[in-house]
Amino acid sequence: MKSLIEKYYILILILIFTLLCTFTLNLNLFAQGYICAVGGGSEDYNNWSDAPYGWIVEKSDSGKIIILGADAGVTNWLPTYFMSLGADTAYNKTISSKTIADLQVTYDEIVTAKAVFIRGGDQWDYVSRWKGTKTDSAIQFVFNNGGVIAGTSAGAAVLGDVDFSGQSGSAYSDDALLNPFYNRMKFESNFLNFVPNVLFDTHFTERGRQGRLIAMLYNQHFNSAKDLIGAGIDDRTAICISPDGVGEVMGSGAVSFFYKDNLTQYSDYTSGKYSIENLNCHILTKGWKYDLVNNQIAFIPASAKDVDINFPWFYSQTNISLTGSSNIASHLSNLGSFLNEVNSGKVLLITHPGFSNSSSVITDYLSANNFDYNVLNITTANLNDASEAVKINESTCFIFAGDSLNVLNYLSQPAGLVNAAFYNQLAFNIPVFFFGNSGKIAGHFYIGNTDTDMYASYRGKMTINEGLFIFPELIFQPLIYDNPDFYENRTSSVLWGLMRNRKRIGIYLNGNDRLNIKSSSTGNSISGSVQIPFMIVDARGTTKVDSSTYRASGSIGPRQIAALNNLKISLTNYSNINYLLETGKFDFLTNIENENISQLTPEGFELNQNYPNPFNPSTTISWNLNKPGKVSLKIFDSLGREIITLADDYYQSGFHSAKFTANSKFSSGVYFYRLSTQDYSVTKSMVLLK
Chain centroid offset of residue 472 CA: 17
Whether 210 is in a domain gets the answer yes
**What 3-state class would DSSP assign to 126?**
helix
Helix-strand-coil split of the chain, %, nearest 5: 30, 30, 40
pLDDT higher than 80, residue 7? no
Residue at a domain's end among 303, 329, 350: 303
pLDDT of res. 27: 40
Minimum mean pLDDT among 310-314, 338-342, 417-421: which range?
Answer: 310-314
Q: Does a structural domain hold residue 654? A: yes
Report if residue 251 sits inside a domain.
Answer: yes
Classify residue 517: in a domain, yes or no. Answer: no
Reference 559, options 274, 172, 252; nearest CA is 252
Question: Is residue 644 domain-resident?
Answer: yes
Model pLDDT for residues 481-530, shown as the tens digit of each residue: 999 999 999 999 999 999 999 999 999 999 999 999 999 888 899 999 99
* Cα–Cα dist 258/548, whole Å: 20
Beta strands in 626-680 (DSSP E): 629-636, 642-651, 654-661, 669-676
Domain harbouring 271, CATH code? 3.40.50.880
Mapping DSSP onto H, E and C, the string for 55-107 reads HHHHHCCCCEEEEEECCCCCCCHHHHHHHHCCCCEEEEEECCCHHHHCCHHHH
Region 636-656: mean pLDDT is 84
594 falls in which pLDDT band (50, 70, 90)?
very low
CA-closest candidate to residue 350, choices 422, 429, 252:
422
CATH number at residue 663: 2.60.40.1930
Residue 25 has pLDDT above 70, yes or no: no
Q: CB atoms < 10 A from the CB of 203, how many?
A: 25
Q: Is the pLDDT of residue 31 over 80?
A: no
**pLDDT score of 285:** 98
Which DSSP helix (H) or strand (E) runs through 241? Answer: strand 237-241
> What are the tens digits of pLDDT across the range 149-187?
999 999 999 999 999 999 999 999 999 999 999 999 999
> Any idea which of 239-243, 451-455, 609-613 has the lowest mean pLDDT?
609-613
When divided into structural domains, the chain yields a total of 2
Give pLDDT, residue 280: 98
Kindly state the DSSP code that residue 587 receives in the 8-state scheme.
Answer: H
More confident: 416 or 457: 457
pLDDT interval class at 311 (50, 70, 90): confident
Question: Is the confidence at residue 605, as pLDDT, over 70?
Answer: no
Residue 50 in this model has a pLDDT that exceeds 50 = yes
Helix ranges (H only) for 342-416 are 356-368, 386-394, 405-408
Return d(Cα 148, Cα 160) in angstroms, integer.
14
532 in a structural domain: no
Burial of residue 15, with CB atoms counted within 10 A of its CB: 0-12 exposed, 13-18 middle, 19 or more buried:
exposed
In tens, the pLDDT along 287-304 reads: 999 999 999 999 999 999
Q: What is the pLDDT of residue 689?
A: 79
Using one digit for the tens of pLDDT, what is the confidence trace for 608-637?
888 888 888 889 998 888 888 888 899 988
- Helix, strand, or coil (residue 590): helix
- Quote the mean pLDDT of the chain: 91
User: Does some domain include residue 222?
Assistant: yes
301: CB partners within 8 A, 6+ apart: 286, 287, 288, 546
**Span 58-71, pLDDT tens digits:** 999 999 999 999 99
Residue 456: inside a domain: no
Beta bridge partners of 649: 631
Name the range with the highest mean pLDDT among 522-526, 541-545, 668-672: 541-545
Q: What is the mean pLDDT of residues 255-277?
A: 96
- pLDDT band per the 50, 70, 90 thresholds, residue 5: low
**CB–CB of 67/91 below 8 Å?**
yes
Query: Considering 254, 288, 303, which residue would you say is the last residue of a domain?
Result: 303
The separation between the first and the last C-alpha atoms of the chain, rounded to the nearest angstrom, is 92
List of residues 6+ apart from 94 with CB closer than 8 A = 68, 69, 70, 71, 72, 74
Note the pLDDT of residue 589. Answer: 57
Q: Of 277, 303, 329, which one is at a domain's C-terminal end?
A: 303
Taking residues 436-441, what's their average pLDDT? Answer: 97
- pLDDT for the residue numbered 595: 31
What pLDDT band is residue 597 in, cutting at 50, 70 and 90? very low
Q: Is 601's pLDDT higher than 60?
A: no
* Contact between 292 and 284 (Cβ < 8 Å): no
Q: Give per-residue pLDDT as tens, 107-135.
A: 999 999 999 999 999 999 999 999 999 99
Q: How confident is the model at residue 8 (pLDDT cuts 50, 70, 90)?
A: low
Q: How far apart are CA 539 and CA 554, in angstroms?
A: 32
453 falls in which pLDDT band (50, 70, 90)? very high
pLDDT at 6: 58
Of the pLDDT bands very low, low, confident and very high (cuts 50, 70, 90), residue 687 is confident
Model confidence pLDDT, tens digit, residues 352-372: 999 988 999 999 999 999 999
Look at residue 219 in the predicted model and tell me its pLDDT: 98
Least confidently predicted of 30-34, 138-142, 465-469, 478-482: 30-34
Domain span at 158:
31-303
pLDDT at residue 28, rounded to an integer = 43
